[in-house]
A and B are shown apart, each in its own frame.
Chain A
């Protein structure tokens, strides 16, 4: 297999990486909002968030992507397929990350909050200075896992017309008749990216002040 083919795969990996990264970050921002709603004591607020989450966790990502890709033009939004792909991945990962974060917020030991309460912290100060940093620490390993899951799931966005690593390997395989070489190269690219994410995750975890408990 020529270097030129591998280079084409690497270029496609740029799409894999960028779409995944953007989706994970947007998903995280959305997940914070969702988890806050999930923690509300009012059923009325919780219900839509719960519905959202059970939908995106219960429907295959492939179906979600096809659905969003076809729905957007239908409601008059003509967006590039990369936007449709990012929306799909973002909504999906937001659902999982929101559940993680909710678990994290719920696991912040009550005593730590009571200590802040006794020290005169407002509800907002307790949220920002105590709950958020501790919940982040508690959920960090799950967040790294989710990043890896999304990176791998991004192979599905080829159905909305994005030529990322998997699709590029497929296309090249059918034109060059080198499927074994191409798919093993694609696998290697995924492995290296996922290892790097895991490594960065572990390093960050150790570097967090006070350590992850």
Chain B
């Protein structure tokens, strides 16, 4: 049994007095696609953001390829924050794709993809741009390299955002509803890029309402409900009937676009 790419143990997340995640235990297997599904407000984004350390958990531990992310347990069993440099190093293994793309509006597609190489990693400009161009090619946008985000469709922007994350060679890619800000006819191009990435063996965690994608590309499905992880399993098991009543209810409410035929 290999080490999980991400291991979440007894994670609790509170915002003020509201407990948003309660006792989450989750193993994200390496080289596989793990999907997080659940009703709105169930805590999917929060869990994903904790895995990226964009949100600090209140209790529990997360390890990335065996290394503690953000907090570790000291000799007395207390939770302690890791030094910033160490947090940075562990996080550099993770790429994140956001629902709202979050491209930098003052930079071209090529600028967005090459910026971190130049600014953070001090890669010379031409080399950085060559590498960025290769990533843009991979997502089918080499001919849009000099377009600004405002000149790109939502689907193209999201593909640039994926390329931006990929140029930093992450070991794990996190996606938070990458297609839900898109018009339905544009979701396909983004899902295709994600499928290709999955086929290459990238470790992926995907929060999505695209149950069809989860069922066909996902290797592992986790169902979150009201801050609790109700179950995790292979798609065939999770979607097999009889289903957990909360999942049944969720699928009834959220399934549309013919995805019910898939599961």
**B102 touching A119, Cβ below 8 Å:** no
**A118 touching B96, Cβ below 8 Å:** yes
Q: How many A-B residue pairs have CB under 8 A?
A: 74
Given contacts A125-B119, A129-B115, A129-B119, contact A118 B165 (CB under 8 A): yes
B98 at the A interface (CB under 8 A): yes
Closest chain A residue to B94, Cβ basis: A118
Contact flags B32-58 to A (C-beta < 8 A → 1, else 0): 000000000000000000001010000
Interface size on A, residues (CB 8 A): 23
* Across-interface contacts of B115 in A (CB, < 8 A): 119, 129
A114 at the B interface (CB under 8 A): yes
A119 to chain B, nearest CB (A): 4
Interface of B is mostly: loop
B100 at the A interface (CB under 8 A): yes
A112 at the B interface (CB under 8 A): yes
B164 at the A interface (CB under 8 A): yes
**A118 touching B119, Cβ below 8 Å:** no
Interface of A is mostly: helix
Interface size on B, residues (CB 8 A): 29
**A119 touching B168, Cβ below 8 Å:** yes
Chain B binder among A130-138, A156-164, A195-203: A130-138
* Across-interface contacts of A120 in B (CB, < 8 A): 88, 91-92, 116, 120-121, 168
Given contacts A118-B91, A121-B116, A134-B105, contact A210 B150 (CB under 8 A): yes
Residues of A within 8 A of B (CB): 109, 111-112, 114-122, 125, 129-130, 133-134, 137, 208-211, 213
Beyond the given pairs A115-B103, A118-B94, 5 more chain A to chain B contacts, judged by CB atoms under 8 angstroms and listed by A's residue number, are: A112-B105, A114-B98, A119-B164, A125-B120, A210-B150
